[in-house]
A and B are shown apart, each in its own frame.
Chain A
């Protein structure tokens, strides 16, 4: 059984707080789909260093929010053109799946291969979803003793100007070959309509789980449980301090 919650335009910070809480306090399996987020926001992985990853001056000048999330992985800038899909599972949820990064990543690749069957030379390449050698989906995970989360930001569309807030990362997959952002990524909208992608993802999930729809109000009792999410918005002072510390 898997509970499925669908949102449209939910702020990404709220989405991540919900996910972190469900990972840590729920014993159910969950699929969360958020069709776009309202404002352009930078989201870094758990160990991300702003001064290394971001053009801080322009980020501060344009007051772009910067979030550090609880999962590993790299830095993205998300907006209304981003579609988020998350799976939160107990370690026994998928039979014979070892709760480690690579098996979970492979499992996700198989699931999405059903979504993109026959479309655009889709595959999982290193840890990214690509059409050919162009990335359109980035992944991140967090694994605990008994549960795991695998979440993805899909570039259905993006604003080219937003990429200028991100530096070229020091850690990059080999297949990137030092390409700049715009040569490395592609838009999913060139391959599939938005609603088709979401419907096919739900369909693919339903081949492995019985799905039960949930509304946000139904899980808001979870907030009564003590919750101290590590995912948070970084302040301008923290961003500036990181630049100074790096000098």
Chain B
């Protein structure tokens, strides 16, 4: 847990963003979040998408990531791929709509990056957004933290 906090602080410092320190999963500020546990980092019309620390922790060791082709269209709230962790294939949902302009090829050889660096090198796709207004449908960091707390306390 302490090493995870240290990693989060270093990652945050590198990305020049601030971070919530929580007892459970890491939640980074300056990102938007979906209720289905994906994050999105927006830079103009470009959006980078991955799954959160909470998600990777609950899924277990990731052994395979299924990604769309470059050029594919994605829609907010709709599935664009899947993460396989040992026995389970879990669908992942796009937090934004637009065209996939890049996929993380590193995940083919190193799917465990999703576990070790979910907000950095474990990213899934980059999307050229066609409607930035959709971001208002996503959760702010503090709202997402609350969702994770509620999930963690419900069992």
Q: Do A and B bind each other?
A: yes
**A residues with CB within 8 A of B:** 45-47, 70-74, 96-98, 100-105, 127, 139-145, 171
**Contact A71 B89, beta carbon cutoff 8 Å:** yes
Assuming the contacts A47-B63, A96-B155, A144-B79, asked whether A101 and B91 have C-beta atoms less than 8 A apart, the reply is: no
| A100–B58 CB distance below 8 A | yes
Tell me if B147 is interfacial: C-beta within 8 Å of chain A.
no
Task: Knowing A46-B66, A96-B155, A145-B36 are in contact, say whether A72-B84 is a contact too (CB < 8 A).
Answer: yes
- Docked Cα-Cα span, A209 to B151, in Å, equals 24
Which residues of chain A have C-beta atoms less than 8 A from B86's C-beta? 72-73, 101, 127, 171
A46 pairs with B154, CB closer than 8 A: no
List residues 46-103 of chain B with CB under 8 A from any CB of chain A: 58-60, 63-64, 66, 79, 82, 84-91, 93
User: A98–B59 Cα gap in the complex (Å)?
Assistant: 11
Interface of A is mostly: loop
Most chain B CB inside 10 Å of its own CB: which residue of A73, A100, A139, A144: A100
In the bound complex, do residue A73 and residue B58 qualify as a contact, i.e. CB atoms below 8 Å apart? no
CB-CB under 8 A from A46, the residues of chain B are: 64, 66, 82, 84, 89
- Interface flags for B7-47 (1: CB within 8 Å of A; 0: not) read 00000000000000000000000000000100000000000
B59 — which chain A residues lie within 8 A by C-beta? 100-101
Contact, CB under 8 Å: A144 / B87: no
Q: How far is the CB of B34 from chain A (nearest CB, A)?
A: 10
Residue numbers in A under 8 Å from B87 (CB-CB): 71-74, 101, 105, 127, 139-141
Cα–Cα, bound, A134→B139 (Å): 46
Kindly state the separation between the CA atoms of A79 and B60 in the bound complex, as whole angstroms.
31
| Residue picked from B59, B82, B86, B151, most chain A C-beta under 10 Å | B86
B66 to chain A: which residues have CB within 8 Å? Answer: 46-47
